[in-house]
Structure 1
Amino acid sequence: MDVKLLEILVCPACKGPLVFDKTKQELVCKADRLAYPIRDGIPVMLVDEARELDPTEEVNA
């Protein structure tokens, strides 16, 4: 994931910061507990495509 791109991308739901989870290839919003997938190197920044994190799931950053 390009560091510059990660600096400008925000959660579409709350406009908060995102954390890159390299192992799952997702961008995670800790505030909303949503994980946005990265497909073919492109972040899919749609709330409808985001996965809700399990309450016990840890974010690997």
Structure 2
Amino acid sequence: MGLTVSDAFRIMLTRVAREKALPFEPLVPNVDTIEAMKEARRGGLKSFATVEDLVAGLNAED
């Protein structure tokens, strides 16, 4: 687009000041996403040593 980060931020803040609203719709997580975030915070995430292990885990039927 040819904008610097500074220019883009200034434009966004100008729009926020003018419209008194964010120039985007904030995302509100649904119940499933909230539960997944809680599980991640509890350390209940799976980890994989290799990409192949990850793909196998994604393709596995639980």
TM-score by length of 1: 0.23
Report the structure number with the largest CA radius of gyration: 2
TM-score by length of 2: 0.23
Of structures 1 and 2, the one with the larger relative CO (CA 8 A, separation 6+) is 1
